[in-house]
Structure 1
Amino acid sequence: MNTMHSRRELLKLSLLGGIGLSFHPYLDIVKENKKILSRAIPSSGESLPIVGLGTWQTFDAGNSEQQRKILSQVLLEMHRLGGTVIDSSPMYGSSEKVVGDLTNRLQFKDDLFYATKVWTSGKEAGIRQMEASMSKMRRNTMDLIQIHNLVDWKTHVKTLREWKDEQKIRYWGITHYVDSSHSTLERIIKVERPDFVQFNYSIRSRHAENSLFAAAKKYKTATIINQPYESGSLFRLVRGKQLPQWAKEQSINSWGQYFLKFILSNEDVTCVIPGTSKPHHMIDNMGAGLGKMPGTHMRNKMLTHLKSL
C-alpha cells in the first residue's frame, strides 16, 4: 500500500475504527493518544497548544442536527489530541452559537480556549455585540476577544482594556488577513501592546516574516495564524501530486501537514487555526503539531519543492 495518500483518502481511514488504525503508520497518533506541542503566551506564560480550530464557514451549521453531530466529533478529536483553541466571530453566521451549544454538552468544556471578535463600529454597539457573542458561546468569561479586521479599533481597545481589568476577558487582541494591513498591526502592537495578534501567514505568503513577527516578539504579543491554506489554493496546487519521500522523515504524512508544519516550524508562531468541519481533517491538522519540526535547511527544501510543482 502506498503510504503517501491524499488528505481526503488517507484520513477517511480514521473513521473506520480498527480497519484504519491497524495498518497506516500515520494513525499511530490515534492509538498512542499523543498530545500536540504547546507554546507560551508571552504576556502571561500560559501554555497554548500550537494547533487550534477556525470556525469561519465550517461551523455555520445553523440548526442542522446532522451537521452538528459531525462538528461535535471534530471537537472531540481536537480535544483528544491536545487542542483547545476555538476561534470564532459574529461575522461567521451561526458559528458562535453552534460552538456554544456543542461545547456546552462536553465534560471538558471549561478546558477549552474560547476566542471571538468584535466586528462593528461604536462603543455601545461593540459592547452589545461582545455581550451577545459571550451569550451565544455560553461563556461568563471569554478567553480572548479580538478586534476583527481592525474595525473601529481605537474605540474597542479602550473597552477591551476595561473588560480585562474587570476580568470579563482574559486576553485581548487585533486581527486581519491581508498583507497590506501588517504595517498597521505592527504600529498597534508597538503602542497598545495587545496580548494577541492574528494575521495571515503560509508557505507561499510570508510577508509577515519581514517585520510583523519581529514586532510581536519584541512586545510580547502572541501570534495566531489564519489563512494557512490560502483559502484552499494550496491544496489545488498539489492536487494529484505525491508528497516527496523525504517528507516522512519530518513526520509529514499529508499535504495539509506539509503546509502546517512549515508554519509551525517558525518558533514565533504561537498557534495556527485551520478551519474544518470534518473529523478526519481535524486529526490531520492536529498531526502537524506532533513530532519534529523542520529546521532552516528543511524549510528551504520544502519551499523549493513546492515551487517546482
Structure 2
Amino acid sequence: MNYRILGKTNLKISEISLGTWQVGGKWGDTFDHNNADTILNAAIDAGINFIDTADVYGDGESEKAVGRIVKARKEEIYVATKCGRQLNPHINQSYTVKALRNFVESSLKNMNLEKIDLIQLHCPPTEVLYRPEIFELFDRLKDEGKILNLGVSVEKIEEGLKAIEFDNVCSLQLIFNIFRQRPTELLFEQAKKKNIGLIARVPLASGLLTGKFTKETTFGKDDHRTFNRNGEAFDKGETFSGIDYNKGLDAVEELKKQFPDYDLPLLALKWILEFEEISCVIPGASSPQQILNNLKMEDAPALTQQQKDAIKHIYDTYIKADVHQLW
C-alpha cells in the first residue's frame, strides 16, 4: 500500500482508502453489521488506514460500525465523518451552529470515540460557504478536543474554491473520475497552492466504470441509481456522476476498446491516482472481495501519456458537453 499526506492535516493515509456509503450492504439494503465488520476488518488487514463515513449512512449505523472496529483494532486508523445532511429541509437556513454542534456530538457518541480525525460539512448548500460563523464553530470544537481537522465535501468546483478560502479547511472531498475531469483545472491548482488534501469520491461513477452494466441492467427500487437519475432526491451528480446512463455506457464501451487488456475498475482508480494533487480515493465496497480487487491497482503499471490522451479524448467526445460546466 502506498500512502500520501492529506494536505495540511499531515495525516499519512492510504492512497486507496474506504468509503462506507454501502459498507453495510448494497445500496438500499438494510444495514448488515456482520457484513460491515467483515469489510472493515478486511480493509484494515490490507493496509487501509483511512475510513470515510457519514452520520446519514445507514442512519448512523455506519458510524457505529466504523467506531466499533477502530476501537477493536491496534492499528492507528483515521476516521472521517460528515455532518449536515440530516437537516430537513436541507437548506441554508437550517444550518445553525447549534445544529452542527449537536451532529458532531452525536457522531462522537455513535462511534464511541473521544475525537474525530476529520469532520466534513456534507455537501452544504452554496450559501453556507459564505457564513464565517459556521466555520468558526469548528475552531471551537477543535479547541475542545472533539475534532482534529475540518474538511468540506462539495458538489461543485465553485463551492470547493470558496470553501478553501477559510484557513481552517484542510481538505475537500469531491467527485473526481474519468467522467468528471474539470477539477484538474483551477481547483487542483488552488488546492496545491493552499496545501489542501483532496479526497476523490465516486471514483467508479456509481459502478458505470466497472464495465459490468448494460442497457438491460436494473437496480433495486431503493438504490439511488434507480430513483435519483435526474436528481429527484439529491444532487444528480452523485448518481453516475451526472451522466446520462446510456451515454455513459457508450463511453465505457469505447474505454474497453482502447484498453482491452486493462481491468476497467483498476484503470479508473489508476487514472485518478496519477494526479499528485489527490491524497486518496475512497471507493465503496459491499464485500471484502471488492476491496481486494481495488487494491490490485497498486501493482498496475503507470499510464503512458498516450493512454492518458486516449482517456481525455473519450471524455471530450462522449461526456464533457453534458457535465463539464455543471459541476
Deviation, structure 1 residue 44: 4.3
Change (3 A) 1:197 1:243: same
SS in structure 2 opposite 1:169?
coil
Return the alpha-carbon distance in structure 2 between the equivalents of residues 81 and 263 of structure 1.
Answer: 20
Deviation, structure 1 residue 287: 2.4
- Contact 2:198/2:278 (8 A) holds in 1: yes
The answer for the alignment partner of 1:17 in structure 2 is: none
The answer for the alignment partner of 1:4 in structure 2 is: none
Work out the number of aligned pairs and report it: 261
Q: Is 1:125 matched up with 2:80?
A: no
What is the percent sequence identity of the aligned residues?
Answer: 25
- Contact 2:7/2:198 (8 A) holds in 1: no
The answer for the alignment partner of 1:82 in structure 2 is: 47
Deviation, structure 1 residue 291: 5.0
The answer for the alignment partner of 2:62 in structure 1 is: 95
Return the alpha-carbon distance in structure 2 between the equivalents of residues 170 and 190 of structure 1.
Answer: 19
The answer for the alignment partner of 1:144 in structure 2 is: 118
Gaps of 5+ in 2: 88-94, 214-248, 319-327
Deviation, structure 1 residue 205: 1.0
The one of 185, 188, 205 equivalent to 1:210 is 185
Deviation, structure 1 residue 203: 0.7
- Contact 1:51/1:83 (8 A) holds in 2: yes
The answer for the alignment partner of 1:3 in structure 2 is: none
- Contact 1:74/1:278 (8 A) holds in 2: yes
Gaps of 5+ in 1: 1-35, 248-253
Deviation, structure 1 residue 57: 3.3
Return the alpha-carbon distance in structure 1 between the equivalents of residues 145 and 305 of structure 2.
Answer: 41
CA RMSD of aligned residues (A): 2.8
Q: Is 1:107 matched up with 2:85?
A: no
The one of 281, 286, 290 equivalent to 1:281 is 290
The answer for the alignment partner of 2:147 in structure 1 is: 169
- Contact 1:83/1:286 (8 A) holds in 2: no
The answer for the alignment partner of 1:267 in structure 2 is: 276
Code of the residue aligned with 1:276 in structure 2: it is A
- Contact 1:118/1:146 (8 A) holds in 2: yes
The answer for the alignment partner of 1:70 in structure 2 is: 35
Deviation, structure 1 residue 127: 0.8
Code of the residue aligned with 1:45 in structure 2: it is N
Return the alpha-carbon distance in structure 1 between the equivalents of residues 11 and 73 of structure 2.
Answer: 22
Code of the residue aligned with 2:68 in structure 1: it is D
Deviation, structure 1 residue 171: 1.1
- Contact 1:71/1:279 (8 A) holds in 2: no
Q: Is 1:227 matched up with 2:202?
A: yes
Change (3 A) 1:45 1:297: farther
Code of the residue aligned with 2:41 in structure 1: it is L
Deviation, structure 1 residue 89: 1.1
Return the alpha-carbon distance in structure 1 between the equivalents of residues 36 and 257 of structure 2.
Answer: 29
TM-score normalised by structure 1 residue count = 0.75
Code of the residue aligned with 1:214 in structure 2: it is E
The answer for the alignment partner of 2:109 in structure 1 is: 135
Return the alpha-carbon distance in structure 2 between the equivalents of residues 46 and 295 of structure 1.
Answer: 30
Q: Is 1:199 matched up with 2:165?
A: no
More displaced stretch, 86-95 vs 214-223: 86-95
TM-score normalised by structure 2 residue count = 0.71
